[in-house]
């Protein structure tokens, strides 16, 4: 059942890749690799939305797999027709220097080690961490076992740590995977988490290969895979890795828009941001702050890009609003009058700052920041605009997390200890993407 747990996601992935290729018909081989990485997450996001809609109109009576195969076939035919009418010169891989081959092979070795580490950890801990079976797989079981009464997973009677208000992208994909295979196998959440983890690594490589060089992309990929907790986070079977993917994908697409002003990329960026909100509540914060970055990426003519971005976000936002109308209120909303008291308590600000600094000012982060400053290149105007945009997104997301800690109704020390590493992990990929777009690439240094 291990192989079939991966195979059931093939129509979803095809759906995502073909959708991106149809709306963004760039044919450069490195761009095709970028579309592949983006398509994995986009397809899984689309499949969760489709299944959610099925639960509203005909739960248990419409095959989600059949719908996906039909849609993927339509897109495949549409792509074949369009490509037949286009001038096609074939796909030519870029010629690599000896240095690039060495760095690419190093990245490949790190990739193989990461895969082995991932699956070795999964075998020893197939249930994932506590949140996996108490929140995400618990919700998936409610939906799979009784799709007609799937709203039982939203019951306010579920313990507060069960988080009945959490969005359903991850549980829905697990539930329809079980429905397709006819049983509750843990291989399905494992497969979904593996796909998102590998997609982040591929997205890091392909995005920097497109915006910078193969050498820079290889270095960034190795640093990402070596980042403390990244691979382990993927084996937790929670929603943090999918959320990390959608935030990163939205950031990359917005950066690419700053380079070539293709409005389609802004639509895709908005949709990815919306999927971040459909993945986890922290993604709602990213949805709220990300439109501000559109103003920075296009300051002179911001109205049209702003509309494109919001248009991309519209469908996931509508799904989220409908879903949230049925869920119990979040614990932050239920904090009542104590919220004002917490905001006035100056000591909380210092405790939060001191705690977060232990993560943000980690030795590895300091060394890498110094490296970025020393090795900084001289980006052109478009690249600078993209760099400012990504930096703004990272700063606003951090400030948002800071504000949430200030008003949390839970014990502050407990909240910080149990969540701060995970929250910082969400923005590590875009942070690395930013640094490697600032730093000089190895091809230039050793030319």
Indicate the domain borders of the chain: 2-84+110-445
Nearest CA-CA partner of 300 in 377, 378, 381: 381
Query: Which parts of the chain register pLDDT below 70?
Result: 1, 87-93, 159-162, 228, 299, 331-337, 363, 380-382
Taken in order 51, 55, 57, 60, the sign of the CA dihedral is positive
E strand or H helix at 365: helix 363-374
CA distance 202 to 208: 10
The reported pLDDT for the residue numbered 334 is 60
CA angle 156, 125, 419 (to 5 degrees): 50
Record the pTM: 0.94
E strand or H helix at 165: none
The reported pLDDT for the residue numbered 373 is 80
Burial 87-118 (b: 16+ CB within 10 A, else e): eeeeeeeeeeeebbeebbeebeebbeebbeeb
Nearest CA-CA partner of 56 in 132, 151, 120, 139: 151
Secondary structure letter of residue 135 according to DSSP = I
- As a residue count, the chain comes to 447
First to last CA, the chain: 50
- 3-class SS of residue 282: helix
Tabulate helix, strand, coil % of the chain (nearest 5): 80, 0, 20
The reported pLDDT for the residue numbered 162 is 63
CA distance 129 to 205: 28
Nearest CA-CA partner of 22 in 40, 35, 4: 35
**Residue 402, number of CB atoms within 10 A of its CB:** 14
**Residue 36, number of CB atoms within 10 A of its CB:** 18
Q: CA 234 → CA 39, 121, 133, 261, 343, distances in Å?
A: 19, 10, 15, 34, 34
């Amino acid at each position: 059942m291990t192989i079939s747990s991966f195979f059931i996601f093939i129509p979803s992935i095809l759906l995502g890749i073909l959708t991106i290729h149809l709306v963004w018909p760039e044919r450069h081989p490195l761009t095709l690799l970028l579309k592949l990485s983006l398509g994995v997450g986009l397809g899984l996001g689309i499949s969760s939305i489709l299944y959610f809609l099925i639960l509203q109109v005909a739960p248990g009576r419409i095959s989600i797999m059949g719908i996906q195969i039909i849609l993927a076939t339509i897109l495949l035919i549409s792509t074949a027709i369009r490509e037949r009418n286009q001038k096609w010169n074939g796909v030519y891989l870029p010629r690599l220097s000896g240095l690039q081959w060495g760095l690419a092979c190093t990245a490949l070795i790190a990739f193989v080690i990461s895969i082995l580490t991932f699956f070795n950890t999964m075998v020893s801990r197939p249930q994932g961490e506590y949140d996996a079976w108490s929140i995400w797989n618990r919700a998936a079981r409610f939906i799979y076992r009784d799709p007609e009464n799937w709203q039982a997973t939203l019951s306010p009677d579920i313990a507060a740590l069960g988080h009945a208000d959490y969005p359903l992208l991850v549980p829905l994909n697990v539930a329809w995977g079980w429905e397709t295979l006819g049983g509750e196998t843990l291989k399905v959440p494992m497969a979904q988490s593996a796909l998102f983890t590998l997609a982040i690594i591929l997205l890091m490589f392909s995005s920097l290969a497109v915006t910078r060089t193969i050498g820079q992309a290889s270095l960034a990929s190795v640093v990402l895979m070596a980042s403390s907790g990244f691979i382990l986070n993927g084996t937790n079977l929670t929603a943090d890795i999918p959320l990390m993917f959608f935030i990163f994908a939205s950031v990359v697409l917005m950066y690419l828009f700053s380079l070539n002003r293709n409005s389609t990329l802004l639509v895709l960026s908005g949709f990815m941001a919306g999927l971040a909100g459909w993945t986890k509540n922290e993604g709602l914060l990213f949805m709220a702050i990300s439109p501000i970055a559109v103003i920075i990426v296009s300051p002179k003519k911001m109205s049209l890009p702003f509309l494109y971005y919001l248009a991309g976000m519209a469908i996931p936002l509508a799904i989220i609003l409908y879903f949230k109308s049925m869920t119990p209120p979040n614990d932050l909303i239920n904090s009542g009058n104590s919220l004002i008291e917490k905001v006035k308590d100056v000591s909380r600000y210092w405790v939060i700052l001191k705690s977060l600094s232990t993560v943000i000012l980690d030795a590895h982060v300091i060394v890498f920041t110094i490296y970025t400053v020393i090795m900084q290149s001289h980006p052109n105007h478009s690249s600078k605009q993209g760099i400012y945009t990504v930096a703004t997104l990272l700063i606003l997301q951090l400030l948002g997390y800071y504000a949430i800690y200030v008003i949390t109704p839970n014990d502050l020390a407990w909240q910080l200890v149990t969540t701060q590493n995970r929250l910082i992990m969400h923005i590590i990929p875009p942070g690395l993407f930013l640094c490697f777009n600032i730093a000089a690439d190895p091809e230039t240094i050793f030319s």
